[in-house]
Amino acid sequence: MKAAPFRRPRLSGLAIYVGAYLVFLYLPMVLIPLFSFNDSIQAAFPLKGFTFAWYEALLANERMHDALANTLIVGFSAAALATLCGIAIAYCDVSRPSRIARTVSALARLPILIPGVIVGIALLIFVNLAGFGPSRLAIVLGHTCLALPTTVIVMRTRFAAIPRSLEDAAMDLGAREWLTFRKVMLPLSLPAVAAAFLLAFLTSFDEFIVAFFLTGTEQTLPVFIWAQLRFPKELPSVMALGSLILAVSIVIAGAAEFIRRRGAVAREAAGA
């Protein structure tokens, strides 16, 4: 086969551009951890000296502890709800296609096409009408909406990759729909379920725009950061908190990617 003009394994201008692009993506983010260890109130060069003081101040902050607890409660609840709904919506869309299932699936992916600020005010009106108003429950509902497109897309991709014959075989052997789902479809999709849950948790964990409208007295971490930004002397501890949030996000995103890939590899090995 003659060498195609589209595969040249050498360091081209394009490869250098990709490297520069990655530097552009990551450089501003690296500054946050860098200055979180800097012994100065200001984020400016030259660096003054190494210190853990901002992390110590942060860990001693009671309001940060409350915000962390709220973030975890909201994150787990929203991720659980979004994953449950994502499984149901994707399964019905892929395995039991009907006009309703398709409409619900399309609705679930709609939040991608709505700016966060509008999702935020829509739910703010909703929770006030429902009577409970801005609260942790309100944020859970908001984050469920935002995570739904992700969980539906991850689960749809997985369900669509399971050969139809497995499901038909279970049905031929007398299993009803629910049993087929529980004993065949769900076990085969567990890596995707785990990845969907992690990504939904991450969506909630980092989310600010919608949470801002739905926060009552109980702040989540991003809303806490927003409030701290008004005080210049809190800047270093905001950077310390930001560094921790970045680290957790990267670990969770990496874990989700790892689980998804391992699921894919195991499937190929099983010939599915």
- Among positions 88-127, residues that touch other proteins (CB under 8 A) are 88-89, 91-92, 96, 100-101, 104, 107-108, 110-118, 121-126
Question: What is the CA angle 32-237-234, rounded to 5?
Answer: 115
What would the two tokens of residue 129 be? 């009408």
Among 67, 79, 194, 202, binds other proteins (CB under 8 A): 202
Question: How large is the angle between the packed helices 99-109 and 136-161, nearest 10 degrees?
Answer: 120
Tell me: does residue 208 bind other proteins (CB under 8 A).
Answer: yes
Question: How large is the angle between the packed helices 136-161 and 62-95, nearest 10 degrees?
Answer: 40
Tell me: does residue 52 bind other proteins (CB under 8 A).
Answer: no
Among 7, 99, 230, 233, binds other proteins (CB under 8 A): 7
Site for other proteins in 222-251 (CB under 8 A): 222, 225-226, 229, 235, 238-239, 242, 245-246, 249-250
**Of 35, 41, 49, nearest in space to 243 by CA:** 35
User: Measured from the CB atom, is 164 or 182 closer to other proteins?
Assistant: 182
User: Measured from the CB atom, is 24 or 50 closer to other proteins?
Assistant: 24
Tell me: does residue 4 bind other proteins (CB under 8 A).
Answer: yes
Task: Tell me which DSSP letter residue 111 carries.
Answer: G
> Shortest approach of other proteins to residue 6 CB, angstroms?
5
What would the two tokens of residue 105 be? 């699936």
> Shortest approach of other proteins to residue 112 CB, angstroms?
7
C-alpha pair distances (Å), 151 with each of 140, 186, 193, 196, 267: 15, 14, 8, 5, 20
Tell me: does residue 200 bind other proteins (CB under 8 A).
Answer: no
Per DSSP, helices labelled H in the chain are 13-36, 53-59, 62-95, 99-109, 116-130, 136-161, 164-172, 177-180, 186-188, 190-206, 209-214, 221-228, 235-269
Site for other proteins in 121-160 (CB under 8 A): 121-126, 128-129, 141, 144-145, 148
User: Measured from the CB atom, is 121 or 190 closer to other proteins?
Assistant: 121
Q: How many residues bind other proteins (CB under 8 A)?
A: 86
Site for other proteins in 178-197 (CB under 8 A): 178, 181
